[in-house]
Amino acid sequence: MKFGVLGLGSMGSRRVRDLLSLGHEVVGFDVRPDRNERATARFKINTVASLEQLLAENLWALVVSTPPDQHSKCYSAAFDAGLPFFSEASILTPTRDWFANRERRTGVRGYASATWRFYAPLTELERRLKAATPVVAIHHQYADYLPRWHPWESYWEFYAGARRQTSAAREMVPFEFEWLCWLFGEVESVSAMVERFGKWRTDIDDAYFLHVKFAAGPTATVRIELHRKAPARTAVVCGTDECYKLDFNTNALSRYEEASEVWSLIPVPESSAASRDLERVYAAEIAAFASAVSGKCAYPKSWAEDRHLSDVLVAAERSAKEKRWVSVAEIAAAYTGLSLD
């Protein structure tokens, strides 16, 4: 099958590599000529000079790997062209009705990124939580240093450091909540602070601190920081009788043993659909998309779920601005998903 990849930066290059490894043909386009040239040289693929040319390439499906503030217009272009599409993790997500109406009109479907559902330690944690006592609290942190994201270029030269609307800390709120909402359901309400600790050349915030209440009962504290030199991505999940700890950087999933007062490492089985290696996770994700487009399997995530992640982000930012708890339903009822204040 022939796939188009729209956007040939770091994520788009991953998608090209993984689609080629699956035996598919790939045509690419990026607004930056140097990225087109690099993709042609590195992957030996054809690239074109415009989105219109890409959509005219008799594609089977499209992969949208542009900066997240451009996603919705790319979705519209794919629907108008009658092309199924995959989207990278987003910041702006239109309503479920927006997608449903276009899917009904065109007969094609879009697929939202579901990266964490292919990560083996989380699939193992999900399996164990189904049989465990109810979860009451979750504590999660993601910390990194923005310039380390793209060490080959200055942070202000790519979208995550160039402007507030697509800043890295903002983007990571829905990305981290993707796994939290998968395991614990929808967020009911949010209290948040948004801060800037680093000295950046651009007008961006670099820290989001959220306290959330899930509709199913648990509460969670979530810290996202892009100013920290020492990286961290860890979660502690506390039930009434059981407690689990996951270190995403070492892929270690542990359970607290009350009798011995130690954390006991849990063996995590590997499979072709879930891996501890994040690059292999991305490969499994795009393989699932290709299989879903060809009708071989169901895709594990809906646009309604993806839209909810965007609602959580907007609720957090409103909470920080107005210094109050904000209901996610309040946001969902009023927010189009096509723009941010």
Residues 206 and 307 in one domain: yes
CATH number of the domain enclosing 72: 3.40.50.720
Query: Residue 262: is it exposed, middle or buried by C-beta count within 10 angstroms (0-12/13-18/19+)?
Result: exposed
Question: What does the pLDDT read at residue 245?
Answer: 98
Question: What does the pLDDT read at residue 131?
Answer: 85
Does residue 264 sit within a domain? no
Q: Tell me the CB-side half-sphere exposure of residue 188, using CA atoms within 13 A.
A: 9
Does residue 296 sit within a domain? no
Does residue 45 sit within a domain? yes
CATH number of the domain enclosing 209: 3.30.360.10
Residues 168 and 209 in one domain: yes
Residues 150 and 223 in one domain: yes
Residues 312 and 179 in one domain: yes
CB 120 within 8 A of CB 268: yes
Residues 174 and 210 in one domain: yes
Does residue 215 sit within a domain? yes
If phi over 0 gives left and psi between -120 and 50 gives alpha, with beta otherwise, what is residue 270?
beta
Residues 149 and 99 in one domain: no
The total of structural domains in the chain comes to: 2
Residues 54 and 101 in one domain: yes
Question: What does the pLDDT read at residue 277?
Answer: 80
Three-state DSSP state, 242? coil
| Chunked mean pLDDT (size 10), the chain, 341 residues | 97 98 98 96 97 97 96 97 97 94 96 96 94 92 97 94 95 98 98 97 97 98 97 96 94 92 88 64 96 95 97 97 98 85 52
Helix, strand and coil content of the chain, in percent to the nearest 5, comes to 40, 25, 30
| End-of-domain residue from the set 58, 78, 112 | 112
Does residue 27 sit within a domain? yes
| End-of-domain residue from the set 112, 143, 174 | 112
Residues 172 and 90 in one domain: no
CB 242 within 8 A of CB 137: no
Residues 67 and 9 in one domain: yes
Residues 172 and 43 in one domain: no
DSSP 109-148: -EEE--GGGGBHHHHHHHHHHHHSPPEEEEEEEEEEEGGG
pTM: 0.94
Residues 93 and 143 in one domain: no
Domain residues for the domain of 200 are 134-240+302-327
Does residue 185 sit within a domain? yes
Residues 221 and 96 in one domain: no
| End-of-domain residue from the set 112, 142, 165 | 112
According to DSSP, the residues that pair with 208 across neighbouring strands are 194, 224
Does residue 180 sit within a domain? yes
Does residue 273 sit within a domain? no
